[in-house]
Amino acid sequence: GGAIALANKEALVAAGHILKAAVEQHGAVLLPTDSEHNAIFQCLAGNAVEDVRRIILTASGGPFRTCSAQQLANVTRERALRHPNWDMGAKITIDSATMFNKGLELIEADHLFPVGLDRIDIVVHPQSIIHSLVEYRDGSLLAQLGPSDMRVPIASCLAWPARMDTPMAPLDLPA
């Protein structure tokens, strides 16, 4: 058993039960590199999943978050490709703009963290600083915050269970 850093959600969405069975069979640990799921993984560290009241995935809301229905009728591909917070490839940017990506992430979270779909919520957080939260049965709410940069969750996976230096500037929380 070793550690596997999973770099795509599609494998879990399409065949999560098969992937999880193989991970369990070989005593491996699955490390999610997706920023939201990596955040949940970090918030769960050292805690029992039985103590989780709910998991909260965050979504920026994308470039159309404040658009009216009338404005949505006239969106363009070019506008959809301008994500307000993340620099990503075209497919995931379009999936994010339509919130389709968040649906995939919900399924991914269900496979990674066995709390049940009814205990996984999604909230819009336009700043994309809080990547996900875990609420525990005692009322505690743990959140993972960081810049909108995939180098952070990737570094988390590469160094796990330790931490490593990254070139990321500290968050300017008062701003």
Tell me the CA distances in angstroms from 55 to 13, 72, 102, one per residue in order: 18, 30, 14
How high is the pLDDT of residue 95?
A: 85
- In this predicted structure, what is the pLDDT of residue 175? 61
- What is the DSSP track for 139-168? S-EEEEE--S-THHHHHHHHHTTS----SP
Residue 144 has pLDDT above 70, yes or no: yes
42-75 per-residue burial string, b: 16 or more CB within 10 A, e: under 16:
bbbeeeeeeebebbbbbbbbbbeeeeeeeeeeee
Band of pLDDT at residue 155, cut at 50, 70 and 90: very high
For the stretch 59-107, pLDDT in tens is 998 888 898 999 999 998 888 888 777 777 888 888 888 889 999 999 9
pLDDT at residue 70, rounded to an integer: 94
**Calpha distance 130→132 (Å, rounded):** 6
Task: Render pLDDT for 107-137 as a digit per residue (tens, 0 to 9).
Answer: 999 999 999 999 999 999 999 999 999 999 9
- pTM of the predicted structure, to 2 decimals: 0.91
Domain extents in the chain: 3-159
Beta bridge partners of 122: 57
pLDDT of amino acid 82: 81
